[in-house]
Every structure is written in structure tokens, then in C-alpha cells.
Amino acid sequence: DKLNTLYDTLHDAQLQLQGTDYSRFVLNIDLPVEGDETYAALEEIRQIAAKYYEDDVVLVGNSTSNHDLESSFASDNIVISVLTALFVMIILFFTFQSAGLPVLLVLTIQGSIWVNFAVPSLTGQTVFFIAYLIVSAIQMGATIDYAIVISNRYLQLKKEYELKEAMIETLNQSFPTIFTSGSILTCAGFLIGEIASDATVASIGVALGRGTLISIILVLFVLPQILLMGDIIIEKTALAMNISRPSREIAGKVKVSGHVKGYVQGEIDADIQGVFDGHMNVLVDSVLPGRQGQIEDIKAAGEVIGDDNEHLCKDVEDDIDKGDEQ
């Protein structure tokens, strides 16, 4: 019985290793899955086998698959990276209507990608080529949103504040959003790297977590400096959209919502925040409870109230006493 069992085992093994047209050799090498040393060993094995089987030799396995993948996509990687950055810049160009700002944003995120994959080289670790392709795409697509949040807030706030003050306020408003989203993606990446048993999946997780963390640091600490120094570039390359707004002449009682510019004659009842140039005879109330409305005298904009301030206030008091509706 034992002999029959051994015979069956050997016969099954022979069928798996030796066929009609091909013979199979199973080799276990004590080398990394991919790397220069591994690829050199594969080439040496191929040359030795070619002495006996000429060119009819095929190597299969994880190492050969990674080597073939790297050889096939190495030349395409530059093209893919350039096209990815180009399409992202085109989308941002139509979003911000500026040719310079998309370049600054993409360079910041692309720089974080370069730093991310420079770390394994500096620490002597290996990176799977498939991990590089996947993580670089995810990092560009996911973390560019952080740069967009900073840029969008900055462009809005610099209309109301000085550049440095606008950037400080931008960081104060954007930090919770960026930190929350970035920390979730960072933790998820590192958890995948620690939990996954497959080396390729673990490499993707670690690279994703590390890349997201680097992107957060660059967006919060480097991008603000780039935007401040490159503000003149952003302004010079901005598109001036000369869109003529329709002019309407209306008489009667209407409801207005939005920004209007022109001349108004009649009674007004609205919450106004802006500059008035002319003469007014109104009651001023604040929209905030417990606070009194204010009218400031702006000399540079013309005589809003001017020397008639006391007379105007006296007119308002008289109107209140008389119970007139203003």
C-alpha cells in the first residue's frame, strides 16, 4: 500500500513537471520579489536554461511578472504622468480662470509624490512598481483637493484683507477640513499596510498613507508661501471675463436680491452693506440684536453725509417724533 501511494504521488508529480512538449522546473530563490539582484538572477537562470533548451525557455512567477510589468510600463510612465498633470491643470484652469495657479497647485502635489517615493530609496526599502502607479494616481487625484480648498479660500479672502492676513485667515478656515479628510486617508493607508498579508497590497497602503501625510504638510506649510510669492503670477495670468451685465429700468414696488449698481429714487427698506455716495434721509437700524446701526463719513468716496451730519440726525429725530414712515 505504501509503495502504491508513493508511486501515485511520484506519478502525479511527473505529470505536473514533465509533459509532451514542455518540462517544468520549480525554483525557490532566496531573493526579494523584485529588484536589481532578483532580475539579474532571473537573467542568469534564463541563460543557463537556454544552453540546454535554446530559446524555447519561459520563466513564470511573481518576480518575472513584476519585471515584465516594469519593462512594459517604464517608458509609458513619463507619458502617463505628464498627461495626468496636464489634464488636471486644464480642469483647474477652467475652475480658477487663471493659467498660473493650476501650475503652482500641480507642482506642489507632484512634489509631494516625488518626496513620497524618494523615502524608500533613502531608507533602503523596495517599492513595487504597481504600487507606484496606483499610489501616484490616487495621491494626485485625492490630495489636489486640499490645495484647491486653500487656493479657493485665499482668492476670496484676499479681496477683503491684505495678502498675509488673507492667507492666515485661509489657513484658519481650511485647517479643519484638510486635517479631517487627510487624517482619515492617512490612517486608512497605514492600517492597510499593517494588516494586509500580501506584500504588494501592504506596499500600496504604506505608500498611500505616507504620501497623503506628505501632501498635507506641503499644502499647509509650503503652498501658502508659494501662493504669496506667486500672487503676481496668478494675477497676471488671470482671465478678465468682460461680461456685460443687463441693465433694467423698473418702476413700482419690486424685490431685489443681489448686488446692484446705479441710481435709486424712492423709498428703500433693506439691509445694506456698502458705500453710498449722495444724500440720504433714513432711519438706521442694525441687523444684529442689541447693536446700533452706523453711517460712516467717507471723504474719499464723496460727501456721504458731510457737514450736514448734525442736520440729518436732527431731521431723523424730528421724523421719529412726528411718526413719519421713512
CATH of the domain at 123: 1.20.1640.10
Looking at residue 167, its pLDDT comes to 94
Q: Would residue 268 count as lying in a domain?
A: no
Q: What is the mean pLDDT of the chain?
A: 79
Q: Would residue 217 count as lying in a domain?
A: yes
Residue that finishes a domain, picked among 236, 266, 300: 236
**pLDDT single digits (tens) 32-74:** 877 788 888 888 888 888 888 777 788 888 888 777 777 776 6
What is the number of other CB atoms lying within 10 angstroms of the CB of residue 160? Answer: 9
Q: Would residue 301 count as lying in a domain?
A: yes
- Distance CA(106)–CA(88), nearest Å, equals 8
Residue that finishes a domain, picked among 236, 264, 297: 236
> Which of 24-38, 126-140, 176-190, 243-257 is predicted most confidently?
176-190
Q: Would residue 200 count as lying in a domain?
A: yes
Same domain, 80 and 48: no
Are the C-beta atoms of 66 and 128 separated by less than 8 Å?
A: yes
Q: Which residue has the higher pLDDT, 316 or 238?
A: 238
Same domain, 129 and 209: yes
Please spell the DSSP secondary structure of 30-68, one letter per residue.
SS-SSSHHHHHHHHHHHHHHHHHHTT-----SHHHHHHH
Looking at residue 282, its pLDDT comes to 60
Q: Provide φ and ψ at 252, rounded to 5°.
A: 115, -170
Domain that holds residue 317: 280-326
Q: Would residue 316 count as lying in a domain?
A: yes
Are the C-beta atoms of 166 and 226 separated by less than 8 Å?
A: no
Q: Provide φ and ψ at 232, rounded to 5°.
A: -65, -35
Average pLDDT estimate for 116-125: 90
Q: How many helices (H) and strands (E) does the chain have?
A: 10, 0
Same domain, 107 and 222: yes
- Distance CA(147)–CA(105), nearest Å, equals 6
Domain count, the chain: 3
The residues, ordered by sequence, that sit 6+ positions from 90 with a Cβ below 8 Å of its Cβ are 102
- With 0.85 as the threshold, say if the pTM is over it: no
Looking at residue 322, its pLDDT comes to 52
The residues, ordered by sequence, that sit 6+ positions from 270 with a Cβ below 8 Å of its Cβ are 256
Same domain, 142 and 198: yes
Please report how the helices 199-217 and 129-157 are oriented relative to each other, as an axis angle in degrees rounded to 10: 20
**pLDDT single digits (tens) 216-266:** 999 999 999 999 999 999 988 888 654 445 556 666 676 766 666 676 677
Looking at residue 293, its pLDDT comes to 52
- Distance CA(65)–CA(59), nearest Å, equals 9
Same domain, 95 and 196: yes
Q: Which residue has the cell 441693465?
A: 247
Q: Would residue 303 count as lying in a domain?
A: yes
Same domain, 91 and 206: yes
Q: With DSSP H G I counted as helix, E B as strand and the rest as coil, what are the percentages for the chain, rounded to 5?
A: 65, 0, 35
Same domain, 106 and 214: yes
- Distance CA(91)–CA(89), nearest Å, equals 5
Which cell is 82 given?
A: 505628464
Same domain, 90 and 47: no
Q: Would residue 293 count as lying in a domain?
A: yes
